[in-house]
Chain A
Amino acid sequence: MRKSAEVVIIGGGVIGTAIAYNLARQGCTDIVVLEKEYLASGSTGRCGAGVRQQWGTEMNLRMSIASVKMFETMNEDLDYDGDIEFKQGGYLLLAYTEAGWRQFNENVALQKSFGLDVRLCTPAEARQIVPHLNTEGLIGATFNQTDGHCNPFHVTDAYAKAAKRLGVEICTYTEVTGIRRDKNRVVGVETNKGFIATEKVVNAAGGYSSVIAEMAGITIPTYPERHQILVTEPVAPLQNPMVMSFHHHIYCQQTPHGSFIMGLGDPTEQPGFNTRATWQFLEEMSQKITWLLPPLKGIRVVRQWAGLYNMTPDRTPILGSVPELLGYQMAVGFSGHGFMLAPMTGLLLSQSILGLPTSLPIEKMDLGRFERGELFNEPSVV
């Protein structure tokens, strides 16, 4: 591990590695990425692997649309020796209440204004898209074909390998224990393997973002929240789109490998670092999904796990710098959709760190918005 670096990035997930790559590509190669365990060991590798553009607020929409464009050519752009497994089978979002349906209508109008080719569907039309869908109680749905699936392990690997080729140092099993500051400037990062002098530090610590911010003396309103997922045995292709119901707090998609990945948000989950999996999740998930997608009743579950959403009060990430500490930047609080926003986040943060004009108005997503009261309040989160 080097003794000093131009930029130290805390977090070896998809966000940290994407930022490292984008910085290096623009000539800033004296970078160290610090990861407490192994790459993608936190929220990235535990996520549902979905890529969605059907958001209800401006910045999530603009960031996700730009990110999908980047996923489409990522294998070539990063000269990856594997395959990121990007499959654009679409997302079918289901509405079960009048309020939910009104929200979907508003969302679609906003999405179309940003150029997304999304459409409103009747239950019958939804069934044409997913023939085995149980439409009982369904009011309507929205569908966008260019949403889909991507493999978070491969994407992180692709960014990490491309960054390394450009000279970035990635230190796994290296835990940050402190951030040293001199008045209002960052001067270095302390780790369990020694000190690195740096004037620029990036908080990309996922579920642990508030812990890292605290080390820098910054208070941010993010908090960790457990979400659980399971994966089934692989079967022949059955379902192209991700099927998602905010009313039931569930989502379910078949991966290119044939396994089904599905998750369930528990509205009663308390903030905390607990990542234990529970049998209650397995039972509730099985009940809900076999009702919604009946052919899945015979499929076998091979594994279940839990990971942390890094939540913000308006379910929208916090990006960029803060006025009170020079050299501190962050890409945190993705509220369960960091993976799908990672490509554009990597570009925006690199531009912000290098003092360049940003491709999107990143300042709208700053920490100060909570004081100013300029919240996004994203409605579409499971």
Chain B
Amino acid sequence: MLRISEHPILTFKHGQQVAFRYDGQELVGYEGETIAAALHAAGVKVLRKSTVLHRPRGFFCAIGTCSSCLMKVNGEPNVRVCVEKLKAGMVIETQQGKGDLREDV
């Protein structure tokens, strides 16, 4: 519902609709759009909590620079979802604290 589908000047092309998991929920988005775009369209606005004061952090720079959108994607920590493209079946998780490089967590 946050997705712009009609625009007086621009036209939008997108890939096919795919399912992915976000913190245990089944959501859908378009293949090839950024993970952040798919989450935003699904109404997910809080992407992580700040590591010191634990305040909500959302979509901000959108170019992979600000670290506001670090999430765990298919088990990999600290993925910048504003520049990472969505693929079918991806498992996206909210990261607790700083990313953890150990494989068993």
Contact = CB atoms under 8 A, between A and B. Distances in A.
Interface of A: 233-236, 238, 258, 295-296, 298-300
Contact of B98 (A236, A296, A298, A300): A236
B101 A296 contact: yes
Interface residues of B, number: 12
Q: Dominant SS at the B interface?
A: loop
Given A235-B100, A298-B76, 14 more contacts: A233-B67, A233-B99, A234-B51, A235-B78, A235-B101, A236-B98, A236-B101, A238-B101, A258-B98, A295-B101, A295-B103, A298-B78, A298-B101, A299-B78
Contacts of A298: 76-78, 101
Contacts of A234: 51, 98
B80 to A, nearest CB: 9
Contacts of A238: 100-102
Contact of A236 (B67, B76, B99, B103): B99
Contacts, number: 32
Interface of B: 51, 67, 76-78, 97-103
B67 to A, nearest CB: 7
B101 A233 contact: no
Nearest to B78: A233
Contacts of B76: 298
Nearest to A293: B101
B12 to A, nearest CB: 31
Contacts of B97: 236
Contacts of B99: 233, 235-236
A155 B11 CA distance: 57
| Residue of B67, B76, B100, B101 with most partner-chain A CB within 10 A | B101
